[in-house]
Structure formats: C-alpha cells, structure tokens
C-alpha cells in the first residue's frame, strides 16, 4: 500500500501523524518510500498526505463536473428506473423492451383512479413485475415509481427537476393524473353509515370481559330482529356465552338494572328544584357582570 492510500483526508492523516508523535508507530514502510519518527520523516509524511488529499479533491471536482455536463445534456447518472436499463456502451438509459409496455400499462391503470396501491401491487405481480426476491414490490417502491418524473421525460437531481434526453413512457398530463389519484388514494375512507344498533359498544360479556356485538336478521316475512352476542375473541379462555339475546330483552335487563340504582321520586324533585335555583343565580351573576 502506498502512502497516499493510507490517508486521503486531513483527519485520517492527522491521526497517523499523531500515532507517530506518541510513539505508537515508530516507522512506516511502503514499496517506494519509508518514514521514521524524525522531524524530516514526519514532514515528508505530511507532504505525501497533502498530495493524496489534493488528488482526492481534484478527482471529486472532475467527477462533479462530468455529472453537471451530463445533466446539461439531459442524461441521468444513476440506476435506471423500472422499465428502463442502463446502456453500458453509450452510457445512457434506454427503454427495456421486455417490461417497458408493462410498466406503462400499470401507470395508465393507476391514473384512471380505479386502483389502490395494494390493488396495483397485485396487478404488477400478475404482469411479472416483481422485486429481486421474486415477491411483489413493496408499496413504498410502487409509490416511488408513481412519483418519478423520469417516466414523462424529466428527472430529479438534488431536489431539482431537469429535462431528460431519454424516451418518455407517458405524457405530463397522465403523470399529473397519477399524482391526483395518489392524493385521492391517500384520503381517509368514508365511514359506513350507522347500523342503528342502540347498544353496540355499550357493554361487555360478563364471563370473558370482551365486547358484545350486534347482528340484524331479516325473516322471510320481512320482519327485522336485532340480536346481541359475545364476540368470543378471547384466546386464553373459552366463553360459554353462545346464546343470542334479543334487543328487546337486553333493553329490559338494562332498564331493570338502572331502576335499582335510580333516585327516588322525592329526591328527584329536590335535586331539580336546587338545580333551578343554581341556574337562576348563574343567570343573575352574568347579567350583573354584563351591566358593569
């Protein structure tokens, strides 16, 4: 290993020289040069590290310059997205003849607004568009595909959109429709209308402690009946409450239970009278405060 390979930045070079200063490293030998823990040796070592850093910085600037030139030509220096492939000879990104039309079909289908991300995932799998492991692509991967401007002839680099020279897969109008479909797809689903179960989420099973659920049954005669039963969600204990309870019977039981803890009629009258007095005092205080 050469000296310029040992450290190509100031931090690594300083650490190596510090090891030499503290005596933890007494000498460094390379195929062409060798350095000892002397002032002259450490100076030459610093010069070698400085030259290595200059080489690295200069190489980085040349690479960035080449990337900027490619961007001005409309060429993306990155891995080709799904539906395209990197042409090694021309160093360009070209349409993949095997899956180009399949990806286009997916984009057009989602733009119609009839698919969710999960549904479009199943459609991609049915067309053979899978991940490296042979499984359906992840939803996050699908979302990146749907929001990638590369498909309408542009590309994103460092947060900015640039015009590309590659063959677009879809139009800008279709891409905008895809974004609208994504926004619609991300909105919360409308909740279903109430089923008018009076005592749903009201009580729990007295045996297992899990909630009771309600069902509506319609007889052949057209009569409707509502029944309540235990959900039997307990996995640790078996609940023996398998009988259905008619809504009328449940209402009767609730009424009987409430009557046991309800206030007597004479108490009710006293409390209502006291409540009326407190309400009148509150109204009077409010009027005085407003008059001030």
Tell whether 56 and 141 lie within a shared domain: no
Cα–Cα distance, 136 to 256 (Å, whole number) = 57
Tell whether 137 and 225 lie within a shared domain: no
CA angle, 105 then 107 then 111, to 5°? 115
Tell whether 137 and 212 lie within a shared domain: no
Mean pLDDT of the chain: 81
Tell whether 32 and 66 lie within a shared domain: yes
Kindly report which listed range (8-22, 72-86, 204-218) carries the lowest average pLDDT score.
Answer: 8-22
Average pLDDT over residues 200-219: 81
Average pLDDT over residues 189-196: 56
Give the pLDDT confidence score for residue 1 in this predicted structure.
47
CATH number at residue 144: 3.90.1750.20
Give the pLDDT confidence score for residue 292 in this predicted structure.
53
Range of the domain at 283: 263-292
Tell whether 64 and 95 lie within a shared domain: no
Tell whether 217 and 235 lie within a shared domain: yes
Q: Identify whether 235 is part of a domain.
A: yes
End position of a domain, from candidates 159, 186, 213: 186
Cα–Cα distance, 43 to 170 (Å, whole number) = 61
Tell whether 176 and 195 lie within a shared domain: no
Tell whether 170 and 110 lie within a shared domain: yes
Q: Identify whether 77 is part of a domain.
A: no
**Two tokens at 116?**
């969710």
Whose structure tokens read 């310029």? Answer: 4
Long-range contacts formed by 71-76: CB under 8 A, 24+ apart: 71/157, 71/162, 73/165, 74/162, 74/163, 74/164, 74/165, 74/166, 75/164, 75/165, 75/166, 76/150, 76/155, 76/157, 76/164, 76/166
**Two tokens at 14?**
């300083």
End position of a domain, from candidates 186, 210, 245: 186
**168 contact partners, CB below 8 Å, separation of at least 6:** 151, 152, 153
Q: How confident is the model at residue 85 (pLDDT cuts 50, 70, 90)?
A: very high
Q: Identify whether 78 is part of a domain.
A: no
Q: Identify whether 122 is part of a domain.
A: yes
CA angle, 66 then 60 then 13, to 5°? 170
Residue of 236 and 81 predicted with greater confidence: 81
% of the chain exceeding 70 in pLDDT: 85
Tell whether 239 and 283 lie within a shared domain: no
pLDDT digits (tens, 9 = 90+) for 237-286: 778 877 788 888 888 888 888 877 776 777 777 878 888 888 877 766 65
Q: Identify whether 278 is part of a domain.
A: yes
Q: Identify whether 79 is part of a domain.
A: no
Residue of 140 and 22 predicted with greater confidence: 140
pLDDT digits (tens, 9 = 90+) for 99-158: 999 999 999 999 998 888 999 999 999 999 998 888 999 999 999 999 999 999 999 888
Tell whether 99 and 154 lie within a shared domain: yes
- Number of domains comprising the chain: 4
Tell whether 182 and 275 lie within a shared domain: no
Tell whether 26 and 61 lie within a shared domain: yes
Q: How confident is the model at residue 235 (pLDDT cuts 50, 70, 90)?
A: low
């Amino acid at each position: 290993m050469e000296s310029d390979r040992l450290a190509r930045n100031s931090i690594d070079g300083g650490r190596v020289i510090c090891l030499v200063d503290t005596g933890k490293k007494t000498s460094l030998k390379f195929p062409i040069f060798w350095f000892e823990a002397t002032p002259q040796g450490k100076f030459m070592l610093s010069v070698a590290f400085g030259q290595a850093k200059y080489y690295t910085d200069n190489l980085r600037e040349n690479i960035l310059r080449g990337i900027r030139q490619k961007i001005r030509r409309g060429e993306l220096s990155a891995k080709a997205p799904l539906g395209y492939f990197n042409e090694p000879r021309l160093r360009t990104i070209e349409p993949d003849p095997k899956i180009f039309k399949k990806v286009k079909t997916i984009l057009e289908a989602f733009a119609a607004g009839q698919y969710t991300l999960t549904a479009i995932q199943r459609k991609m799998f049915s067309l053979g568009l899978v991940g490296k492991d042979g499984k359906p692509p992840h939803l996050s991967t699908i979302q990146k595909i749907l929001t990638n401007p590369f498909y309408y002839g542009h590309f994103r680099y460092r947060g900015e959109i640039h015009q590309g020279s590659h063959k677009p897969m879809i139009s800008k109008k279709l891409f905008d429709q895809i974004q609208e479909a994504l926004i619609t797809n991300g909105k919360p689903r409308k909740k279903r209308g109430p089923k008018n179960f009076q005592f749903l989420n009201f009580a729990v099973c007295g045996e297992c402690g899990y909630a009771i659920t309600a069902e509506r049954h319609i007889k052949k005669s057209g009569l409707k009946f509502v029944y309540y039963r235990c959900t039997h969600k307990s996995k640790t204990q078996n609940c023996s409450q398998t009988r259905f309870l008619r809504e009328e019977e449940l209402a009767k039981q609730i009424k009987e239970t409430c009557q046991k803890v309800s206030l007597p009629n004479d108490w009710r009258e006293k409390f209502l009278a006291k409540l009326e007095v407190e309400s009148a005092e509150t109204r009077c205080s409010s009027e005085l405060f407003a008059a001030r």
